[in-house]
Structure 1
Amino acid sequence: MKNSDHSYKIATLFSGAGGLDSGFANTGKFENQIANDLLQAPADTYSKNHNVRIQSVANFNEEPKLPCYIVGDVTDINFEPLKNIDCVIGGPPCQDFSQVRGSRDELGITQVRGNLYSHFIRALTRAAPKIFVFENVPGLVSANGGLAYKTITEDFENLNEKWTEIKNKIKKGPDSAKNYFLIFNEIVNSSDVGVPQKRKRLIIVGVRKDLLNLTAEYDYTKKAKQILKGETSLLKKYPITAMEAFEGKTVPELAEKYTKLMEEYRGIENKVGTPEAFAWKSKTWDKLTLNVVDDYLISNNIQPKDDDEVEVAFEEHKIILKELGYYGKPLEGRKFDDNSNEIPKESDKVKSRMSHIPPNMNYLFVDGTEWKVKGTMSNIYRRSHPLKPGYTVMAYGGGGTWSYHYEKERSMLTNRERARLQTFPDDYMFEGNRSQVRAQIGEAVPVRLGTKLADIALSVLENIPTN
């Protein structure tokens, strides 16, 4: 029987500023009891936007007051209050797995698992939630020759058997654990679900095996894949763009804006004079029409089924922009109470360099010129393309890693522009200095992806009898 009127309790670990939590909150069906992070700034942001108290680990362990955000080391938290939690969500920092080298036999099984990950497992064993959501960087799948990933999936599926090994390492936790069936275990591109950003994440969703039968396993697996792989909409084929997110209009409505901004780059290959610049002229510029819809299709390698499909796709874009609160609300010139839309100051040298790099190109475009700069990654001084999803928003990094606006006279994105690429609502206020806010935004799970994960969790929880 469907429990459609029931609300569910969740706990999140490694919560940061609350992107994933906000996605779950958007459904109106989840009550977050516990969130946690090591740092104060994201805790302040979370508390401000979710209206929860902040507790230190020591205070929480002595007298837990739910709901709350626990600031401190997850390894020290007493998870006893998690007993009535329906869903545990979160993802340990990827660095937790990055230092392991060698085979399983060489290392011993306890060394394969990162310490923070082991305490995520401890939370699962204590709470025994009906469902969990684990997210991480896609590189985790191949890290350490795939050993860490293999260990993680085996742990989730056979947790009662594996728990003794893990408990022996961390020296705390209950005596037994529940096993989980993984209804989803793949890499997801956030743009496939309507996030205006190319951002891939490893998503693992597990449901307690004792609550399932074979039919339910198939149904939940099918539904999760449909939602997260973009099979229920046109968004995978027709992604939402950075320009739509920043300007608050759909692609067809931005025709004049697009033509004007692209005309600014006409002839730039002659000013720069590099092989990369002339290659861009022949491979990219010469193929453009400066008709916004045609160039959107060209830039994203889209072969429309017919004109009706294109129209339906952009109507879906409008619906999502309205859901996000962006439609009709361009960011340019807007002031926010947290100063998140202030354009960062940059040196004249950087401004000059960026004025000679067109959309979709990076530092290599000006290599060998007076604007050259050393770079080792493709995202260095890479300018956003107005008709594509934004590039992955980064949390950290030095010069050239901040993400750059598609307009010729603009350089670094503001934190609010970055927040829109992560689908945070405009009334989500961030606490901390510019670098701290940058980190909070860059480390977050896109809010809209969080909502899709919440939809999957609901599809399970609403069909499992309440205790």
Structure 2
Amino acid sequence: MTDRTFRFGELFCGPGGMAKGAHDAAASTGVDLVHKWANDYDRDTCATYLLNMERYGATTETVIHGNVRELEIEALEGIDGFAFGFPCNDFSSVGEWRGLDGEYGPLYSFGVRVLEAHEPEWFVAENVSGLQSANEGRAFTQILGELAAAGEHGYDLYPHLYSFDEYGVPQRRRRIMIVGIRGDQQYEFRVPAPSIYEGIPVSARHALMEPPMHRGMLNHEYTRQSDRVVERLNYIRPGENAFNAVDLPERLKLNVRGATISQIYKRLHPDQPAYTVTGSGGGGTHMYHWNESRALTSREKARLQTFPDDYEFIGSRDSVRKQVGMAVPVRGAEAVFTALFKSIRGEAYPSVAPSLGHVAARPRRDDRGDQ
């Protein structure tokens, strides 16, 4: 029986990894989470979200395809809970850590606008680990400051760097999750301890073989490999890549200067978590099976991202690859939302201190005026 109901909104919703994890957590903790609206700029991504979130109330009217810069945020329906995985491009090594100086870095501000306009009771934000070092650390400090000061009451912030393989995800994926609790609330968020998830298998072998996969599965189309790629992979052992493979002949080595540690043409190690799933493609960045000389399929990557096998992705193969790679792992989101909902309900569970500190809410002062 549920005793709390939260109206839920999302920006940068992606294909629904964050939402699926949130709804799974709600179901297991006795919380009623009601979809109200979600927005993303990519049409295929919105189609994927709608298809899989219809069971939670998503409709063609509430899943809004469009540029967030043109979204009428203040006109959106009121919400009690909010999630936004603001674009990470400029906070990662791929984006050369441009941070707030890049095209995508400032997009976090639209999440702040939601907090200002609708003042939800709580929010969860997600980004890459590089966020904390972008712009020599200034970007992270600025973002935390604006989130803490949003709305009339401000938000207590609990930023933590999660390594999702410690939370039941068969993938070494390190992400910053910022949980915010509105300053007038009487509870605190407690970061869930990895010990809660000890014993859950997180090897690539278990993820891709339990249960067994078959060729007729959704989004499980194989990519044809060139003869040269197949020959190169045949010399690369599990866990190795094109730059550290011991037995790779000189004629098959890549002529790239300065690259000694890389995920290019890297095979999974079957007995370890996968390396990070990304939306990249081409140039040996597809992720490769430990035994078969081929790239992983989108369904195999979706398993590494802990999407259920009946979760269908809409679009071309390239579009689906990008959606899967940019998603928040379902089980990782579920771990955070489960802890959040248990914190709200006052339930005990093992916890750890937020690794990136605690930021106190900065409520709006009556005498601040227009300054």
The TM-score with structure 1 as length reference comes to 0.66
Contact 1:190 1:449 in 2 (8 A): yes
1:186 partnered with 2:160: yes
Contact 1:192 1:239 in 2 (8 A): no
Alignment-derived partner of residue 358 in structure 2: none
Of residues 90, 111, 115 in structure 2, which corresponds to 1:120? Answer: 111
Of residues 63, 67, 85 in structure 2, which corresponds to 1:73? Answer: 67
1:40 partnered with 2:4: no
Distance 1:455 1:204, change over 3 A: same
Alignment-derived partner of residue 232 in structure 1: 196
Alignment-derived partner of residue 158 in structure 1: 149
Alignment-derived partner of residue 450 in structure 1: 333
Q: Following the alignment from structure 1 to structure 2, what is the Cα–Cα distance between the partners of residues 239 and 122? A: 40
Contact 1:96 1:117 in 2 (8 A): no
Alignment-derived partner of residue 94 in structure 1: 88
* 1:205-253 superposed Cα distances (whole Å, 9 cap, x missing partner): 01011113xxx33xx33xx2xx2x4032425xx76101001110xxxxx
Q: Following the alignment from structure 1 to structure 2, what is the Cα–Cα distance between the partners of residues 94 and 426? A: 26
Q: Following the alignment from structure 1 to structure 2, what is the Cα–Cα distance between the partners of residues 181 and 431? A: 37
Gaps of 5+ in 2: 348-371
Contact 2:164 2:172 in 1 (8 A): yes
The one-letter code sitting in structure 1 at the alignment partner of 2:59 is R
Q: Following the alignment from structure 2 to structure 1, what is the Cα–Cα distance between the partners of residues 236 and 104? A: 43
1:5 partnered with 2:8: no
CA apart distance, 1:363: 0.2
Higher relative contact order (CA closer than 8 Å, sequence separation 6+): 2
Q: Who wins on radius of gyration, i.e. which is larger?
A: 1
Please show how residues 30-429 of structure 1 align to structure 2 within 5 Å: 30-51=33-54, 52-54=58-60, 65=61, 68-82=62-76, 84-95=78-89, 114-159=105-150, 177-182=152-157, 184-212=158-186, 216-217=187-188, 220-221=189-190, 224=191, 227=192, 229-235=193-199, 240-248=202-210, 329-331=211-213, 333-336=214-217, 338=218, 340-364=219-243, 365=245, 369-375=250-256, 376=259, 378-407=262-291, 409-429=292-312
Alignment-derived partner of residue 430 in structure 1: 313
Structure with the higher helix share, 1 or 2? 1
Question: Matched residue of 2:181: which SS?
Answer: strand
* 1:14-58 superposed Cα distances (whole Å, 9 cap, x missing partner): 01111111111213331221111101011111111112323xxxx
Contact 1:96 1:116 in 2 (8 A): no
Question: Matched residue of 1:7: which SS?
Answer: strand
CA apart distance, 1:99: 7.9
Contact 2:21 2:333 in 1 (8 A): yes
Question: Matched residue of 1:21: which SS?
Answer: helix
Contact 1:181 1:208 in 2 (8 A): yes
Question: Matched residue of 2:251: which SS?
Answer: coil
Gaps of 5+ in 1: 55-64, 161-176, 249-328
The one-letter code sitting in structure 2 at the alignment partner of 1:44 is A
CA apart distance, 1:159: 2.9
Q: Following the alignment from structure 1 to structure 2, what is the Cα–Cα distance between the partners of residues 113 and 394? A: 17
Q: Following the alignment from structure 1 to structure 2, what is the Cα–Cα distance between the partners of residues 47 and 112? A: 27
Q: Following the alignment from structure 2 to structure 1, what is the Cα–Cα distance between the partners of residues 345 and 103? A: 36
Distance 1:420 1:142, change over 3 A: same
Contact 1:82 1:126 in 2 (8 A): no
The TM-score with structure 2 as length reference comes to 0.82
Question: Matched residue of 1:159: which SS?
Answer: coil
Structural RMSD (CA):
2.6
The one-letter code sitting in structure 1 at the alignment partner of 2:302 is A
Contact 1:395 1:439 in 2 (8 A): yes
Instruction: Give the number of equivalent residue pairs.
Output: 331
Q: Following the alignment from structure 2 to structure 1, what is the Cα–Cα distance between the partners of residues 234 and 331? A: 32
